[in-house]
A and B are shown apart, each in its own frame.
Chain A
């Protein structure tokens, strides 16, 4: 069976990518699975410099999911390149750098920095973290802001650019369209849904911040709809993210138009979930008589 898929001009050995933020710098998951069996890994968001992140508490459980406000704690691009990339690149899987920026030019700096690294397949621009600006604001809520960052970053590297989008806007398709216009090679969606959890006894937020981002199976129907809307409106590769926990979920995302998917929150519960999901999808495909993932992608029947 042909498991290969092509997204943003890169050939992946299969459509399973570990999502940024729930896979650390990749190597933390080595004890649990053979990373070389994955289509790719999107590493934890990187700024040009180390970043402290938000105070605790940073996580709260929601029904069938989690709300987080980690705030992009990270070691920064240079330490990642020195301490983790050499080991991670021994794995036969595509490495995606998740680039972040407080200032717009910082996305440019991260993308430019990784341009010479052969082992990096693509740059995923994190335009959509809801936990680092006031009230969940982020570039991916605004077509103009997203356009500017993608356009600029595109000039910093020869590598494909993937814009990671937010579902927390009614103009998601416009934002997606602006990213395409600016030269994005693919889009990944969705990042977390802006959410809250409060404690009526203490009258405080359950998190150190007022808002957090909701992820996990709770959001799957929402993210499936978002992926469908974008993938059916624009001619650009889409990577589907949001609540995928089993093989059938993966196939559903492909059906509504995703070329590949990212596996997020389920990893926290089941570190080797990504491999299980792939195996389940493959046996479902065989059972239904399909020979490649491409035969399903975007083939939703609309009556």
Chain B
């Protein structure tokens, strides 16, 4: 991990309130599930960087998908091509790769790290849910879907795909691993229902992103003992069997 400058190559609204950000620059290689801390302001308002899961990376570029949620992402969404921003990347521990047929589960912006991860699997089922049709990034998803893959869309209001929460539509077949990314509540509910082995990518509120402030902790049970561990350093990906859901 290093602090590096890059310049905006693309910052495009791909769905209402959702942006694709491509930054060009010489960034160290990442693995799926890792994240970057992105500067959003030259002033101290807002003060902190914003953490984003890496959605893709290639030679001299890195990509993120973010949703405008507050002051930071709003400022970010105004950046034009050629503008400079600072990244600390890659951070955290990514997904542990499993062989065979896997289940990918994405809620909302949880889709970003899974688009990156999906490139590593020959066979997968993607279960992807959002509140409504306009929040489903279908174009992004369909780019990576091949013959050996299947795709289940869900929307809470039924405006596209299956109606209801994503967690009411979990496929019943056996997978070698489930990879889950999205809001805490969704992941908690998924872990309650799903009995197979799973890895979860957390979106805890973060301060630094590199392990010094201890803001972003997740509760885990290790060697019989419960403790808080930093999702920026020991995570953001954790195995379901060690997570203590609150």
Contact = CB atoms under 8 A, between A and B. Distances in A.
B45 A53 contact: no
Residue with the highest number of chain B CB atoms closer than 10 Å, among A21, A59, A64, A66: A59
B88 A271 contact: yes
A61 B213 CA distance: 14
B64 to A, nearest CB: 18
Interface in A29-70: 29, 31-32, 44, 52-53, 55-66, 68, 70
Nearest to A217: B44
B48 A52 contact: no
Contacts of B227: 52
Contact of A66 (B3, B207, B211): B207
B217 A53 contact: yes
A160 interface: no
A53 B48 CA distance: 22
Q: How large is the interface on B (under 10, 10 to 19, 20 to 34, 35 or more residues)?
A: 20 to 34
Contact of B48 (A28, A58, A61, A217): A61
A79 to B, nearest CB: 12
A32 B86 CA distance: 14
A205 interface: no
Contact of B211 (A28, A59, A245): A28
A66 B206 CA distance: 11
Given A217-B44, A268-B48, A28 B217 contact: no
Contact of B47 (A53, A57, A66): A66
Interface string A257-289: 000000001011111100000000000000000
B212 A23 contact: yes
Contact of A269 (B49, B204, B214, B246): B49
B125 to A, nearest CB: 32
B207 A68 contact: yes
A53 B211 contact: no
B121 interface: no
Given A57-B205, A216-B44, A21 B228 contact: no
B47 A265 contact: yes
Q: How large is the interface on A (under 10, 10 to 19, 20 to 34, 35 or more residues)?
A: 35 or more
Interface string B224-246: 00011000010000000000001
B78 interface: no
Interface of B: 1-3, 39, 44-49, 88, 204-208, 210-217, 227-228, 233, 246
24 contacts: A22-B212, A23-B212, A29-B212, A31-B1, A52-B227, A56-B215, A58-B205, A59-B206, A59-B207, A60-B205, A61-B47, A64-B45, A65-B44, A66-B47, A66-B207, A68-B213, A73-B214, A73-B217, A268-B208, A268-B212, A268-B213, A269-B48, A269-B208, A271-B208
Interface of A: 21-24, 28-29, 31-32, 44, 52-53, 55-66, 68, 70, 73, 216-218, 245, 265, 267-272
